[in-house]
Structure 1
């Protein structure tokens, strides 16, 4: 996902830096944005943080608006340096948040349901009935 964000940032900056119609780059941008949506959905299948999901979904919407907003796909499109800078900055922040979240997910302790388990019960030896050491 980080590579895809980097690609969208580079393509978006290049697209808005130039003026005029660029059908090839428009197609690439739309395709990569759809892939990003699917990858983000896959990422959150395993995530446990609803507030992070809402934040990243909000950033995804902002990125889509920046990249495909304005005069996107227009034949008389003018270059927009300000939009290019915004795309670059948003992609950088988005990638940092995704990277931080994926590292945090790897460092998280056991899930809550696993905390209730008592592994010592799994390995307790079965003792004869009446044995004072038995864990009846």
Structure 2
């Protein structure tokens, strides 16, 4: 699985997961791969050209901004967006939830097509698909 953390997520989480799953998954974050000031549409487009990536993001604006939404929906990316409560939670809680949901997250690339968007819940163990 290729996992990408958007600019509004802690790079430390990406680095920790990369060490934890070394050799199993490719895990990176925005500032490691692109200039920090890259627009959402540009990183979505560039990352999509590389194939199927799972994007972890707290930026729900992507799901509401018309241009960003259409860029994402027409991409080879799968979006896992933190629920509002999870996004506002401390990084340690976010990491705890990612690890708790890891078995489900790992199945996503094999079962979902690019352009799909899901919400990572703060309590449940199920991903909720965001409306199309």
Q: TM-score range by the shorter chain?
A: under 0.3
Structure label with greater radius of gyration: 1
TM-score by length of 1: 0.26
Indicate the structure with greater helix content. 1
Q: Taking CA–CA contacts closer than 8 Å with sequence separation of 6 or more, which of the two structures ends up with the larger relative contact order? A: 1
TM-score by length of 2: 0.27
